[in-house]
Amino acid sequence: MLKTLLSVFLLWGGLQTITFAQLTYKLEKWGKVPDADLKLTHCSFDSGASSMILQDVGSLELTYTRDGWRVLFNHRRRIKIFDETALEQGNLRILYRADHDVEKFKDLDIQLILPTGEVQKVKSDNVFTEKINKYVSAKKVFIPNLQKGCIVEYRYELESAFIASLYETWFFQQDIPVRWSQLSTTIPQYFTYVYLMHAPRKFDLNENHQESITSAFTNPYGASVTTFGLSHLPGIKDEPFITTLEDYRAHIGFQLSEVIYPGRSTEKYLTSWEELAKKMEEDEDFGGQYKNDGKFDKIWSAFRKEVPESTPRAELPEKVLRFVSTSIQWNGENRRFPEATLDAAFIKKSGSTADLNLAVVALLRKLKFDAVPMLISTRDHGMMYDLYPFADQFNTVVAFMLEGEGGQLLDATNPKRPVGWMRAECYNGQGWLVDPKRPNWVDINAPEFSETWLGYAKLNEEGALEGHYTIIKGGPAATQWRSEMEGESEAAFIKSNFAAEFSERTVDSIAFSELNQLDKPLKVDFHCVVPSAATPVNDFLYLRPVLDYFVVKNPLKSIHRSFPVNFIYPYKSQYVLNIELPKGYLLEEIPPAARISLPENGGKIQFSVGKTDESHIQVILKMNITKQEFLPSEYDALKQFFDLMTEKVQLQLALKKV
Amino acid sequence: MKPFSLILIFLAPAYLAAQIEYSIVGITPELLKHANVVVRNHETVFRLEADGGATMEETYVATILNEEGKSASVMAESEDPFQKVKMLKGRVFDVMGQLVRSSKDEDVQVFGGAAEYEFSDNRTKYLQLEYPQFPYTVEFRKKVVMKSFLFAPASILQSLGVAVEHWHYRLEAPNGFRFQWKSQGVDLKVKESQKGNTSIWEWDAGQLKALPDEPYNPYFGDITSSLMFAFEEISYDGAKGKFKDWKTVGEFFYGLNNNRETLTPQTVELVKKLTDGKSTREKIAILYKLTQEQCRYVSIQLGIGGWQTLEAEFVDKKKYGDCKALSNYTQALLKVAGIESWEASIYGSDEGAPACDESFPRPLFNHMILYIPSEDMWLECTSKSNPAGYMGEYTADRCALLFTPQGGKLVKTPALKLQDNFEHTSTTLLLREDGAAQVSGKTFYGGARQDDLRHYALEETKEVWEKTFTQQAKFSIGKLGKLALDANREKPEVSLDFQVESPKYATVSGKRMFVPLTKTNSFKLSLPANENRVLDLQMMQSYVLADTFVLQFPSGYAAENVPAGKKITSEYGVYELKTETLSDAVQVIRLIEMYPIQAPAAKYNEVRQFFLDITKADAQQMVLLKKT
């Protein structure tokens, strides 16, 4: 009922007042600032903020121009500066795509409203155009005469050819608080879009009505006008252990689903995953790269020279991965499409994830393996939408082999990584196979990051602990060590990666096993002396038995957490040390065993000290974290979990001379 | 025989030659020691034209031995309206010196993005040559054309971790051209010749061994050897000058920046009103604060604007500017109040500055500040928070070039002394049975020790400060009570008054509790072990920390063992820790004095041991025992 009334109101266009259940927001007109806002001194819902967006108004209108269908983006923002620390809000930078005229930036209009209400136009000599690179330019504005208490207001129009995504995602939430943010979309009747959104709660405004549009270039048509509004959004700041901040900021994005012109057949943009897979496989720049021998001739012949035909089939995937990762250097970039051809990257000796991993797919297929590309959105690129079949949600590619149970992942970005694993950034829950026969979302569980320390050591009266230790690194922990060791001596490496808190330690007799067996855990045995493991005081020796661990300090420092903690891997850490006590010393007291679990069995810690006999003790600290995501409501428990872990790492035992 | 085999045979000799030239086999073993990069050949021809323009052609061939040497795989050059990169090409050779690829035009990247507060006409062109296996060799060739320039670029022969097989520099100029040159870190001899109307100067060097890249070294910017020039006559963007000595360099910049001090009548009025009847010192403080409160830092660098300040009136109207514009604006304000001040060029950096040479007038500056001769006082006009006259680590203790009406004058800025850089804390910890503690304290920071805190006190929101405090605290924080940070506007002093809850301050082990003595402000510094240190050691920061910690036992606990005091004295500093056990508390008094260190490599382990001893002494814990 209310909605209908509102539509009438808006069409009538009179007061521009939007009323709904709890909130009334009156859109302020350009340059008209209410007295209360001139006098405003702080943000009521984010008290620490030094500036606030009073209103942020965007509209995306899909409209027919002389160049065809274009998206007109109109943006109007008003920012209040509360104090001097926010003067940098007067340095604006608006990015746009300047290559091939895909975006036209127009009509930038800026004004400064002094606390007195006086309006000063910001002239064009304060505006600069910066060419950042081939594709992107920026309008830079330095607002003159900006003082505390001022309001900055600006607006511009941008015409974009990016129809499939309806220009770009609108973020209601910003790094400074937003009092009111709204986006309107005007979509002609021929077009259908799906929404990709994340909102912390129901929209404060969600309104829709129909309009009739007349155009100089086409027949009149009907359009659907939808407005979304959110109010009182606190500023959002980066925190450690997240995927990307964009996943948490309130936003709405769009994806074109279909176009139906009268008298023409429906053009489907979001069809089905089958269709998308077929389209990608037929794409010269994607499927053509690994299906067409001509694109990777050189790679293939170089591979054949290195790996003879007599090689057992079971060893081939490993050989392919090794060959690609050592002959093309990953340039650090995530891409879906190769820059030119796979052979071009091979000649250049450098390439993106697309160059490397499509080369893996190509070679595997050539060797008659059932291999396909898997598309992924990396953690820093954000979540995936398996409801809607569109390719732009992905930013990178790995290889997938449909052999064995569940298939195998291959990622050639690091020469030390075995078949089956990807680099950390790729573990974002799932991935999509580009395979028209079996288009499929695959759930990806990150492998376990595991570490074990095992030691037999002897303590002397001066407090030195001398003994034999074994460290076993499993899963990504092994890959990490294998890559970090490159170019370093074994002794220097172990020295800097064991018992780092004990500065005078020495290591020798180092023996690595499975150093080159990349799919096996990495194991190292060594002898180590830690001169000050224990502090002698009077008749006592105070021993710190845990020399190294998963973490020695609590990585969670913030007191509060506004969004979930998201870990990449499940973690497992075990430490067992058997200690022979110096003659005449006894463990004065056995500290009680400790055990703590995370909510929903998300992990646990076990700690115990035991006497094996009068002169031998054993210290055990075990921990695992199996849950990947911890909600803000679980943050305190997680922080305590790490507090307990670090307490046990720091724990000391009292030995007394008898 | 098929035709293409013939071609191969013809190509073979050239191919083999390349292989011999760039193969790693050719490098003498002494050059590999400490090296991440071996420069095989580095040749530059700098050709000066009669119209003041110049062309620079450079060939740079380097073998990259490992990951640390990868910076040599990039060649970058800047472009602006006066300088264009005409050519930038590269080739990659594998370990045997075999050519693996040549760069293409599209491999050259251009970027021009600056920070939000900056705009300049400067862009960077760069080419990166990657190869998946070390060692490999890169060869770059570039040609840069300059319409006009202020300074001829220096040629850097070596930085740390770089050895050089062969280096050659050739300068060509019309006869009669006058300049000075200077080599640093390497002995160079010049060979002069003439060819028609052109004079030629050439320098050669080779077989230069690498120095290891060791921390805390005295090399500024980690550069060990270079060839530098000072051309006597310069012209840039229409401005002409002489760079014969520092006096004339100063004259040029004085001329460029003088007479740009006009203010709006309103501002002139305001200055008079604010300073009327005040002392010189008071006037300076008032006007400095006026710049600080009204203006923000925005840097716009276009053409000569990189060297010439914007008019004071511009800043007056816009309320922003860069270091030059804000210095000039403050100078204009002071002038209205009858106070003479001079602009000064300086190298601003928290990590020291290049050494200055009285006899070689080649400016190595990146920043401008203001000097008031009558008060012997310096003003950092880009700071929104410094008290008047305080420089901070960014500009203290280095040479500056004053632009006086009588020309340039090289002077040294005052150093921050040990007693200026202080931290006085007084902390009380109420320990609880579970190892938690209520920590409250008051700290006074001075000089360089307050630089960051002053920024948080005056230029950031409370929220940012709280977050920073929590992140940087040396002990875990569960709850923030009070966290009042207060900056003194007259003096470089900041005070912090705080009360927080620490959930795990002490470690409980059965009936014992292990309590760190100084954890809330612990001292920790370790130099990496190195039995064969090659470079001298330099650590110029000096400061004094004076702390009192009162650790109050939980009820029912008594001290089992309290560390005795400790005193470490050396030429590098002093550490003293005293403990006093009271009935239900231990009081710890700690004094740390750190002197500036400049020690030869042979003393490295002595210095390392000094820090090790202090770190160890400072990590001591007391043991409390639960009474039964």
- What are the tens digits of pLDDT across the range A578-616? 999 999 999 999 999 999 999 999 999 999 999 988 899
Contact A486 B460 (CB under 8 A): no
pLDDT for position B497: 97
Closest by Cα among B254, B310, B311, B261 to B287: B261
Residues of A in contact with B432 (CB under 8 A): none
Q: Do B461 and A93 touch (CB under 8 A)?
A: no
Chain B nearest C-alpha distance from A64 (Å) = 33
Q: CB contact, 8 Å: A332 with chain B?
A: no
Q: Residue B140 forms beta bridges with which residues?
A: B60, B90
Q: For residue B297, what is the nearest residue in chain A, using CA coordinates? A: A88
pLDDT digits (tens, 9 = 90+) for B73-116: 999 999 988 999 999 999 999 998 999 899 999 899 998 878 88
List CB contacts (< 8 A) between A50 and chain B: 461
Task: Please determine, for residue A632, whether its predicted confidence score (pLDDT) is greater than 70.
Answer: yes
pLDDT score at A50: 93
Instruction: Give the Cα separation of A455 and A549 in Å (integer).
Output: 13
Q: How close B205 comes to chain A (CA, Å)? A: 30
Spatial CB neighbours of B358, under 8 Å, sequence gap ≥ 6? B246, B410
Q: pLDDT above 90 covers what percent of chain A?
A: 76
pLDDT for A216: 78
Taking alpha carbons only, the member of A187, A201, A230 closest to residue A20 is A230
Tell which residue, A19, A28, A52, A254, has the closest CA to residue A155: A28
* CA B336 and chain centroid, separation: 35
The residues near B171 (Cβ < 8 Å, ≥ 6 apart) are B46, B48, B179, B200, B201, B202, B229
Check: CB of residue B343 under 8 Å from CB of residue B368. yes
- Summary mean pLDDT of chain A: 91
- At residue A1, the pLDDT reads 26
Q: Is A221 on the interface with B (CB under 8 A)?
A: no
Average pLDDT of the segment spanning A555-562? 89
Is the pLDDT assigned to residue A15 strictly greater than 70?
A: no
Does residue A41 surpass a pLDDT of 80? Answer: yes
For residue B461, the chain A residues in CB contact (below 8 A) are 48-50, 85
A643 contact B CB<8A: yes
Q: Does A348 touch chain B (CB under 8 A)?
A: yes
What are the DSSP calls for A149-210, one per residue? T-EEEEEEEEEE--TTTTS-PEES--SS-EEEEEEEEEEETTEEEEEEEE-SSS-SEEEEEE
User: What ranges make up the beta strands (E) of B433-584?
Assistant: 437-446, 479-487, 493-502, 507-509, 512-516, 537-539, 543-552, 557-561, 566-570, 573-581
pLDDT value of residue B303: 79
User: 3-state SS of chain B: helix, strand, coil percent to 5?
Assistant: 25, 40, 35
Q: Which residues contact A568 (CB under 8 A, 6 or more apart)?
A: A379, A424, A427, A446, A449, A628
A50/chain B closest Cα distance in angstroms:
6
Tell me how far apart the alpha carbons of residues A43 and A51 are, in angstroms, rounded to a whole number.
Answer: 8
Of A328, A589, A590, the CB nearest to B132: A328
Evaluate if residue B2 carries a pLDDT over 50: no
What amino acid is encoded at A460 in this protein? N
Residue A8 — very low, low, confident or very high, per pLDDT cuts 50/70/90?
very low
Q: What is the pLDDT of residues B54-73, one digit of tens each?
A: 999 999 999 999 989 999 99
Report the mean per-residue pLDDT for chain B: 92
- Please say if the pLDDT value at position B12 is more than 70: no
Q: Which residues of B touch A592 (CB under 8 A)?
A: 510
Q: For A256-286, what is each residue's pLDDT tens digit?
A: 999 998 888 888 888 899 999 999 999 999 9
Higher pLDDT, A199 or B426: B426
In whole angstroms, give the CA distance from residue B444 to residue A428: 47
Per-residue pLDDT, averaged over A401-423, amounts to: 92
Mean pLDDT of B465-469: 93
Mean pLDDT of A542-564: 92
What is the secondary structure of A385-402 as a DSSP string? -TTS--GGG--EEEEEE-
Tell me whether residues B509 and A652 touch, CB distance under 8 A: yes
Contact B503 A128 (CB under 8 A): no
Task: Look at residue A99 in the predicted model and tell me its pLDDT.
Answer: 81
Q: Give the H or E element holding residue B611.
A: helix B604-618
A421-439 tens-digit pLDDT = 999 999 999 999 999 888 8
- Look at residue A24 in the predicted model and tell me its pLDDT: 62
Cβ A329–B293 below 8 Å, yes or no? no
- Hey, are the CB atoms on B507 and A651 less than 8 Å from each other? yes
**Residue A596 structure tokens:** 């703590």
Q: Which residues of B touch A559 (CB under 8 A)?
A: 470, 477-480
pLDDT of residue A16: 33
Q: Can you give the pTM of this predicted structure?
A: 0.88
- The pLDDT confidence band at residue B120, using thresholds 50, 70 and 90, is confident
pLDDT of residue A12: 26
pLDDT category at A420 given cuts 50, 70, 90 is very high
* A164 pLDDT above the threshold of 80: yes
All residues of chain A having their beta carbon less than 8 Å from the beta carbon of residue B435 are 647
Q: Are A165 and A269 in contact (CB under 8 A)?
A: no
**Cβ contact (<8 Å) for A643 and B113?**
no
